[in-house]
Structure 1
Amino acid sequence: MALAPVLLLALFFSMSVSGNAQPKVPAIYVFGDSTADVGNNNYLPGNNAKANFPHYGIDFPHSRPTGRFSNGYNGIDFLAGHMGFRRSPPPYLSLTNKTSRGILKGLRGVNFASGGSGILDSTGTTITMTQQIKYFATLKSRIAERLNLERSNDVLSKSIFLISDGGNDVFAFFQQNNAPNSTQKQQFYNTLIYNYKNHIKALYELGARKFAIIDVAPVGCCPYSRSLHPLGACIDVLNDLAVGVNGAVKVMFSNLSSTLKGLKYSLGSSYAVVSKMIADPEAAGFKEVKSACCGGGKLNAQSGCSPNSSYCETRKEYLFWDSIHPTHGASKKAGQAIYGGSLLFASPINFKQLVEDDS
């Protein structure tokens, strides 16, 4: 008897993310914005920064909108798959006593990311990075109660702390000043890095040792940004800000690794991955890298992806799903490049090397 199409779809996606691998680390703890959110915002009041409705999730198993800002899985799901997990750990706000039993043993992990948030608490109106870390502190205390403090610290030191953030901070700064001079840019970088460093130190004090960081993509080339340009070109100022933030984060982690004993890190460059896809779409397997698949208006980016929006049928040919976020296919390619790719896509080591580092 043939499998129903929906079951075939579910089986395909399950296999494409996880295969039959066993977890290579005890757990993954995820922090960040909509590039990493797998449903935390579903539990917030109001309708802002949510993706728990069609056509989001159209290519997720059973075409289920989960709160991921994607037509299927996001980049975190694929990175988790490379680490031997089925997909991203569950959203923190979804946990119940029943679903948290294994998590309280320090296994699998939790996703704290919230669409709309940023490194700065002033960015967005959703779950701030500060609050995400407070949630982790609460969870860590419960894990310590279950395992004891020494054992919990050992488990956490071997786990991956994955952060994908900063894009919303860049957009927020640009909205306040779309033609900043060099002094204003430097002040922005300094403020951002001061706060980012405090976040990393807070996680370190709570037991984190292995940091997998996703940098800011070329946000000036996403469909939303292009829709602001009369000719649909990239907004150079936004890309310059992203480059400045990424450079400052690179220096910050280099300095932290020399002062915080045992800290290890990998900086995954979504900027390099997406830039390469845009520069040579054919090589990346795409036909459309400017317009969004789902939305409306100019470049399908002037109105959001919603149940009433039109969407492309050939989603594998598109880099962007909505006005800002990549498609399932693009996220899969990015996950492959960052996890096991060259220094161009992750440095000073790639995510695979970070995961396998037992020193």
Structure 2
Amino acid sequence: MASICVCGVRGFWVVFLVLLRLGCSEGQMVPAAFVLGDSLVDVGNNNHLPVSLAKADFPHNGMDFPTKKATGRFSNGKNTADFLAEKLGLPPSPPYLALVSNSSKSNSSSQFLTGVSFASGGAGILDGTAEKYKQVQSIPLTKQVEYYLAVHESLVQHMGSSGAKQHVTKSLFIIVIGSNDIFGYSGSSDLRKQHTPQQYVDLMASSLKDQLKHLHSYDARKFAFVGLPPIGCCPSQRNQNKTAACKEDTNSWSRMYNTALQAMLKGLKAELNDISYSYLDTYAVVQNFVLNPSAYGFTEVKAACCGLGNLNAKVGCLPISHYCPDRRDHVFWDLYHPTEAAARMFIDKVFHGAPQYAYPMDVQQLATVGG
């Protein structure tokens, strides 16, 4: 990862040096990528949570990763954030908790220059989503935003306020969160008594809006939002139906949230006209995988590749679990998460030239805004 010693320096030369080394490097579309989200994009933050049950730092996770080792990604290999970073010409955004636990304050800012991931398995938009309804420790979105503010402060200290602002405003913020909130609603009769589905997804969208405005006040300007997939079609949900069909109530709540999210983003853009965003229609892409798998090279859309029991969904991907010999055949790696093949194909669909899947602009167009 690029590093540059700018401690104690301010002004023009700081900005010049950073842009020379980072913003203008060949093939790099943005200076940095900051990732906030859940297990779909966790790259190892939960490894550093002592009592979290939502970890993927053991086999068979990572079996197709370049190192052939588990990293904390809930995947057989790379995840969505990794492939997006590749397209942007960036290294994968490293886990924030690994950086702060291994680095001294004197050099930590250089490790943040091309971005960092705050994503955490089990995290939700609403505080307490994981702890209350899934009994796991995670980093909720509000805490992830707090961690970003600490990174921003570090960048300001070492680049100056104008240098940090120029760096961050051109960077991309990747937001992948909301599934656990829907799972929490689905699994809690108390929540369903307290809120109608529409009230609940509106609460999710308004809570996310509050955090986006907080990020904006600390120079975030470009956002890529990964909408919710048809989570009722993941193996854990299919396993609840005797016919292994998708759980339609969960899917309907996912669609409802996606509609609320898009309406909120349009309103936020009208309120903060200096932001730009791309909404990535994960629901449509994954639904296509499920309904027409052969067109995308898949042969198995119901069962997980790694697990135990019916659909490999009774038990998650543990060292004792079975796994499929060819992961490229499966849409799902475990009872919740996509395979590396599905994640790669999703990013290929939304990064460039697919207006039906990414709007009001694709990710490549978003990366060039303000460049």
Query: How high is the TM-score relative to the length of structure 1?
Result: 0.90
Matched, 1:84 2:89: yes
Q: Given that residues 171 and 222 in structure 2 are in contact (C-alpha distance below 8 angstroms), is that contact kept between their aligned partners in structure 1?
A: yes
Using a 3 Å threshold, how does the CA distance of structure 1 residues 156 and 331 change in structure 2: closer, same or farther?
A: same
1:293 CA drift (Å): 0.2
Query: How high is the TM-score relative to the length of structure 2?
Result: 0.88
1:177 CA drift (Å): 3.8
Q: Given that residues 202 and 257 in structure 2 are in contact (C-alpha distance below 8 angstroms), is that contact kept between their aligned partners in structure 1?
A: no
1:104 CA drift (Å): 3.7
1:179 CA drift (Å): 11
Matched, 1:93 2:105: no
Identity across the alignment (%): 39
Partner residue of 1:108 out of 114, 118, 122: 114
Which runs of 5 or more residues in structure 1 are unaligned?
A: 1-19
Which runs of 5 or more residues in structure 2 are unaligned?
A: 1-24, 132-137
Partner residue of 2:346 out of 316, 319, 334: 334
Using a 3 Å threshold, how does the CA distance of structure 1 residues 159 and 179 change in structure 2: closer, same or farther?
A: closer
CA deviation profile, 1:49-104 (whole Å, cap 9, x unmatched): 10000000000113110000000000110011100023x21000011337994854
1:107 CA drift (Å): 2.2
- 1:1-359 equivalence runs, <5 A: 22-86=27-91, 88-95=92-99, 96-97=102-103, 101=107, 103-104=109-110, 107-125=113-131, 126-177=138-189, 184-358=196-370
Aligned pair count reads 339
1:23 CA drift (Å): 1.7
SS at match of 1:265: strand
Letter in 1 for 2:113: L
Counterparts of 2:211 and 2:51 in 1: how far apart (Å)?
27
Counterparts of 1:89 and 1:193 in 2: how far apart (Å)?
25
Using a 3 Å threshold, how does the CA distance of structure 1 residues 285 and 105 change in structure 2: closer, same or farther?
A: closer
Q: Given that residues 130 and 180 in structure 2 are in contact (C-alpha distance below 8 angstroms), is that contact kept between their aligned partners in structure 1?
A: yes
Q: Given that residues 102 and 108 in structure 1 are in contact (C-alpha distance below 8 angstroms), is that contact kept between their aligned partners in structure 2?
A: no
Q: Which runs of 4+ in 1 moved over 3 A?
A: 98-106, 177-181
Letter in 2 for 1:319: V
Counterparts of 2:191 and 2:146 in 1: how far apart (Å)?
35
CA deviation profile, 1:302-349 (whole Å, cap 9, x unmatched): 101000100000111010000010001110000111111412211111
RMSD over aligned Cα atoms: 2.1
Counterparts of 1:338 and 1:151 in 2: how far apart (Å)?
31
Counterparts of 1:329 and 1:21 in 2: how far apart (Å)?
27
CA deviation profile, 1:82-137 (whole Å, cap 9, x unmatched): 00023x21000011337994854862100000000011112113101010010110
1:173 CA drift (Å): 0.5
Letter in 1 for 2:238: R
Q: Given that residues 304 and 322 in structure 1 are in contact (C-alpha distance below 8 angstroms), is that contact kept between their aligned partners in structure 2?
A: yes
Q: Given that residues 276 and 366 in structure 2 are in contact (C-alpha distance below 8 angstroms), is that contact kept between their aligned partners in structure 1?
A: yes
Letter in 2 for 1:330: A
SS at match of 1:233: coil
Letter in 1 for 2:251: N
Counterparts of 2:120 and 2:192 in 1: how far apart (Å)?
28
Letter in 2 for 1:297: G
Counterparts of 1:100 and 1:289 in 2: how far apart (Å)?
48
Letter in 2 for 1:194: S
Counterparts of 2:173 and 2:349 in 1: how far apart (Å)?
19
Using a 3 Å threshold, how does the CA distance of structure 1 residues 307 and 196 change in structure 2: closer, same or farther?
A: same
SS at match of 2:212: helix
Using a 3 Å threshold, how does the CA distance of structure 1 residues 324 and 154 change in structure 2: closer, same or farther?
A: same
Q: Given that residues 33 and 115 in structure 1 are in contact (C-alpha distance below 8 angstroms), is that contact kept between their aligned partners in structure 2?
A: yes
Letter in 1 for 2:98: S
Counterparts of 1:180 and 1:92 in 2: how far apart (Å)?
34
CA deviation profile, 1:174-230 (whole Å, cap 9, x unmatched): 11149969x701210221112111011011011100001101110000001000001
Counterparts of 2:63 and 2:98 in 1: how far apart (Å)?
21
Counterparts of 1:41 and 1:276 in 2: how far apart (Å)?
31
Counterparts of 2:44 and 2:227 in 1: how far apart (Å)?
21
